[in-house]
Each structure stands twice: as C-alpha cells, then as structure tokens.
Amino acid sequence: MSLNRRKYLTGMLALGLGLSLASAAHAITVKDDQGELTLDKVPTRIVALEFSFVDALANVGVSPVGVADDNQPSRVIQPVRDLIRPWTSVGTRSQPNMESIAALKPDLIIADSSRHRAAYGQLSKIAPVLLLNSRYGSYNDILKQDQTIGDVVGKSTEMQARISQLQAKVKDIAKEIPDGQTAMYGSSRENTLDVHTQGTFAGSLLAALGFKVPQADGGKDIYDIDLEHVLAMNPDWMFIAHYREESVVRKWAQQPLWKALTVTKKDQLISVDPELWARSRGLTAAALMVEQVKAAVEKKH
C-alpha cells in the first residue's frame, strides 16, 4: 500500500472516530414523566407545547421553532418573547395541531404530561418527546424540569446558573416578608374563584417567600370557593387574576361582608396578570411574580 493511500485511510479512520466520539459526547439520557428519554445529539428544532417550556428555553438562549401559543402569541409573556426568535404557532396547548408540528420537522417535542399524555403516541411518531408536568407542577417541580430541559439542550451549566439566580432572589425577598403572613392566589372567573394551594406553581412560590398558603382540599391543589369560604380564610394578602372584566371577586367586593376582610381593611388585595401568574409557570415568570410581591409588601411596610 502506498504511503499516500495509508495516510488517507488513517485520516478517514480518525475522522470517523472523531465523529463517533462527538456523537457520543452529545448523547444524553434524562428521566421524564414517561420514564426515560435518550437523545444522541443536541436538538436544534424544538417544539414547545407549554409556556413554561418556552420560558426555560429562552433562559438559555434557545429559540423553539414551534409553540402551542393558543393562537395568541401575546400569551407568551413579553420578557420571554424578547429573548427568542419568532416561532410558528402549532395551535392550542390543549389541542396542538399535529400537522403543523410535523411540518416543522422537529428533533424534539417538549410536552405536558397532563395535557398531552394521550397524544404521546402521535407526537412520538413525529419526533422524540420530553414529557414533563408543567400544568400542575409546583415551583420546585418547574425548577427541576427546567434543569432537565437545560441538560437536554446542552446548556446544563447555564440553566443551573439561572436557577440559582432565581433561588437567591426568592431567598432575599423572603427576608422582607413579615413572619406569620397568610396569602392566597386565586383565579377569578365570572362565577367562580379558584384557589391555588401550596401544590401549585403560584401557591408554592408564595410559600417559598414565607407566606402561609392554603392547603390542598380533598387531594385537589386547585379548587373553587365561595364568599363565605373567603371570609373564613381571611388571608392577609390576596393576589387575584381576573379572567373576566365582571369577575366574581369584583362582584363580591360590592357586598357589605367584603369590608370585613383583612385585605379590604389594609388594602392588600392585589390584581395580577393571569398570563403571568397562572399560565406562564417559568423562571422569568417567577422572577417577575416575586418582584410584584416585594413591591406590594414594601408599599405597606
């Protein structure tokens, strides 16, 4: 064999070995709500089917190619939109459009285990699926999910830094919350007020700040209550997202009994954005939420 031929073959073998090693270096196995997911390379075309997944990707500089944005791009909060490139809508979070997802030729779909488990088979025929519990995840659940997402996209160190930054912020603001304060986050619709307990994202975030928050009721982390129940709970703070202009809380506020509440006497009922407090559930959302709590508390003390 000629010297040049031997050099060529040696070079090709080295190149092949290098490519194999590179591929192996990117291989990763993570645990999710379906068991385990193994990827042999870093995904670059990601479809996110919940807002918290978009938030996580944005925090490490990754732009999803598709988002289940409920056909309303503004439902992705502005600070997150500012961090990513424009995306293609793949329909609603509750019923994402399979054809739209497939057309994007994704190499990863991040789906919610509550909303999308039934569609897992369909989704997995399109691309590998990372199944996580965003919809009913607590603050700590979301942080763990975000780290998993960071690991999958090859941004483990960056994600850990972002998580640590948020945890430090929460810890610092918690020092400013007076001991023994009670707080409740609720979603106020036309005829119902849904309380989010310590098992939910908003409820557990308030708990992380040091507030005492409602417990689950009959195993339910989110449940609706009436005015009498609000009076019985009588929290020091209420953070209310009004889903309707004529929401039930605004109706209750016109009744004489409402004046007996601590939040009325101390002007500690805070109206908040449902997109931020209920739908987003991410690092960016949490940072904005705790800043709002801090501002409200500082105003009163």
Q: Are residues 129 and 105 in the same domain?
A: yes
| pLDDT at residue 234, as a whole number | 98
Considering the chain, what is the average pLDDT of its residues? 92
Q: Are residues 145 and 253 in the same domain?
A: no
The answer to whether position 12 is within a domain reads: no
The answer to whether position 1 is within a domain reads: no
pLDDT tens sequence across 5-27: 334 344 444 444 444 444 445 68
Q: Are residues 90 and 226 in the same domain?
A: no
Q: Are residues 101 and 195 in the same domain?
A: no
Determine the Cα–Cα distance for residues 274 and 134; give it in Å rounded to an integer.
16
The domain boundary residue, chosen from 170, 190, 224: 170
The answer to whether position 41 is within a domain reads: yes
The domain boundary residue, chosen from 170, 200, 232: 170
Joined tokens for residue 16: 């092949």
The answer to whether position 33 is within a domain reads: yes
pLDDT tens sequence across 184-229: 999 999 999 999 999 999 999 999 999 999 999 988 999 999 999 9
What residues does 37 pair with on adjacent strands?
A: 30
The answer to whether position 216 is within a domain reads: yes
Q: Are residues 151 and 261 in the same domain?
A: no
Question: Residue 55 — very low, low, confident or very high, per pLDDT cuts 50/70/90?
Answer: very high
Q: Are residues 193 and 125 in the same domain?
A: no
pLDDT, greater one: 228 or 3: 228
Q: Are residues 97 and 190 in the same domain?
A: no
The answer to whether position 79 is within a domain reads: yes
Determine the Cα–Cα distance for residues 194 and 216; give it in Å rounded to an integer.
12
Task: Tell me which residue range forms the domain holding 255.
Answer: 176-300
pLDDT > 70? residue 4:
no
Q: Is the pTM of this model over 0.75?
A: yes
Sheet of strand 46-48, all strands in order from the earlier edge strand to the far edge: 88-89, 66-67, 46-48, 108-112, 129-132
| pLDDT at residue 9, as a whole number | 40
Exposure string (b/e) for 122-152, b if CB count within 10 Å is 16 or more? ebeebbbbbbbbbbbbbbebbbebbbbbbbb
Q: At what angle do helices 51-59 and 139-152 cross, to 10 degrees?
A: 60
The answer to whether position 248 is within a domain reads: yes
Q: Are residues 139 and 195 in the same domain?
A: no
Q: Are residues 156 and 34 in the same domain?
A: yes
The domain boundary residue, chosen from 170, 198, 229: 170
Q: Are residues 51 and 155 in the same domain?
A: yes
- Report the pLDDT averaged over residues 68-95: 97
Q: Are residues 212 and 180 in the same domain?
A: yes
Q: What is the CATH number of the domain that holds 109?
A: 3.40.50.1980
Percent of the chain with pLDDT over 70: 91
The answer to whether position 131 is within a domain reads: yes
pLDDT > 90? residue 51:
yes
What's the total number of domains in the chain?
A: 2
Q: Are residues 221 and 146 in the same domain?
A: no
pLDDT > 70? residue 2:
no
